[in-house]
Amino acid sequence: MTNVDQCKASLWLMGDALDPDKLAQSLDCTPAYGIRKGDIYLSENGEEIVASTGRFQITTGWRTGEPLDRVLQELLDQLPDDLASWAEINSTLSGKVLCGLILDSVNEEAEVPASVLLSLGQRGLSLHLDIYDSGDGPVT
């Protein structure tokens, strides 16, 4: 399997009714980020912002030289398999898996096997790819 230079995968669940504590309990995991609609958070430059919707994130963090499918599977392994739970989550929230990819050259590729795509689809999660050229600067 072809490896991109760096990649990460993050689950994002969003919605006005999102309760990060309840969702963490339902998914049996601790989020990297969780906020309710109306909560105040600080922007990168220290400005106070009111959350326009709730957001819950779980992430693998950046991986160097690992296949995207392995990173996606690592994220999926943190999530429950119970599709009834996912149907309940999807009744009030929208979800996606966001993959950040940093390419070392102009012609790299990554493959996501059907089994991983099926696992995402069964959970009602769309797949979003955010692709960068390594010349774009360091990843934080």
DSSP assignment string, 63-119: EES--HHHHHHHHHHTS---HHHHHHHHHH-EEEEEEEEEESSSS------HHHHHH
Residues of the chain with pLDDT under 50: 1, 138
Query: Residue 136 has what pLDDT?
Result: 59
Is the overall model pTM greater than 0.95, yes or no? no
Q: Which H or E run includes 23?
A: helix 20-27
Query: Residue 71 has what pLDDT?
Result: 95
In the chain, where are the structural domains located? Answer: 6-136
Tell me which residue of 102, 107, 110, 108 sits closest to 135, measured CA to CA: 102
